[in-house]
Amino acid sequence: MAGRDTVQALERGLTILEAVAESEDGLALAALAERLDVRPPTAFNLARTLTLRGYLDKSDAPVRYRLGLAALRLARQGERRRLVREGAKLFVELAQRWPDATIILAEPVGGELVVMLRMDTTMPTLLERAPHWTMPPYATAVSLCYLAFWPLSETSAYRRRHPFAEFGKAPWGSERRLEAFLAEARRQGFVRVAADRPYRVAAPVRAASGQCVAALGVSLHETGGANAKDRKRIIEDVKAGAERLSRALAGEEKEA
């Protein structure tokens, strides 16, 4: 029927991407050919094209095809749009409940923790999108959230880029003290910095895969979290906000 025709090569290419995405260890060429119901040379040409464009990654000994950086980047762009869109709504709600707060959503980019969204007490109605500020290591709830909840392979590179002796010794004194703090944060599921004002709380935002992709943080300035009831409420709000953003990344509808 007119209007329902599809491009066979494109259909096959998309089928390859779907099949590879569903595989934990990648797929061999024979498995791709079987999935497409085509001869191996045809599957090879399709996979080769996707590999050259970066949508597949090919490993040797044994040969396996996995999702490439281009495919992962494409998925990440869609996630990021959802995250910013839902984050903007969340920030307005948090600012109404906490008029003395600075609210930040940050993500790791190129070895740094970069601010995606920010709302400050100086201009509580202004939502700053992608101001491109980097968060100082070891010193904020958001950067500590990153160290606590992201994969060790990623945070190890971050620490090499920001040596503890240069950036972390002043606020923490020793790495042992920092590690004890991070372990407690993992146990609780959030980061809380209450040693001095402002009172700071942060929680991880996770993609549908479970991987941490951003950190939501709130700092209370005027009250400084002096009130125990306020401290409990802000922790609940930050955790609920991070969970809401995680649901948005998973494509789930916002709860009523």
Q: What's the pLDDT tens digit per position in 168-180?
A: 999 999 999 999 9
For residue 38, tell me if it sits in a domain: yes
Inter-residue contact 202 to 115 (CB < 8 Å): no
pLDDT by residue for the chain (256 residues), tens only, comes to 344 567 888 889 889 888 888 887 888 999 999 999 999 999 999 999 999 988 888 888 788 998 887 777 776 777 788 899 999 999 999 999 998 899 999 999 878 899 999 998 777 678 898 777 899 999 999 999 999 999 988 899 899 999 999 999 999 999 999 999 999 999 999 999 987 778 999 999 998 888 899 999 999 876 555 688 888 999 999 999 999 999 998 876 444 3
How many angstroms separate the CA atoms of 96 and 100, rounded?
9
For residue 256, tell me if it sits in a domain: no
Domains in the chain, number: 2
For residue 204, tell me if it sits in a domain: yes
Q: Tell me which residue range forms the domain holding 224.
A: 74-249
* 103: nearest Cα among 122, 117, 89: 117
CATH number of the CATH domain containing 173: 3.30.450.40
For residue 197, tell me if it sits in a domain: yes
Beta-strand runs (E) in the chain: 56-59, 64-67, 101-109, 112-119, 127-129, 191-193, 199-206, 212-220
- The separation between CA 186 and the C-alpha centre of its own chain, rounded to angstroms, equals 16
**pLDDT 10s digits, 180-203:** 999 999 999 999 998 777 899 999
CATH number of the CATH domain containing 54: 1.10.10.10
Tokens of residue 96, six digits: 């109404």
Torsion angle of C-alpha atoms 144, 149, 153, 158, degrees rounded to 10: -20
Does residue 62 share a domain with residue 79? no
How many angstroms separate the CA atoms of 204 and 170, rounded?
25
At residue 41, the pLDDT reads 92
Does residue 234 share a domain with residue 112? yes
For residue 3, tell me if it sits in a domain: no
Does residue 114 share a domain with residue 15? no
Whether the model pTM is above 0.95: no
Does residue 180 share a domain with residue 217? yes
At residue 227, the pLDDT reads 80
Does residue 62 share a domain with residue 78? no
At residue 240, the pLDDT reads 97
At residue 222, the pLDDT reads 66
For residue 2, tell me if it sits in a domain: no
Does residue 31 share a domain with residue 142? no
Inter-residue contact 29 to 63 (CB < 8 Å): yes
Does residue 230 share a domain with residue 133? yes
At residue 223, the pLDDT reads 59
Does residue 176 share a domain with residue 245? yes
Tokens of residue 84, six digits: 């910013």
> Whose structure tokens read 């970066």?
54
For residue 82, tell me if it sits in a domain: yes
Does residue 161 share a domain with residue 85? yes
Give the type of residue at 96.
Q
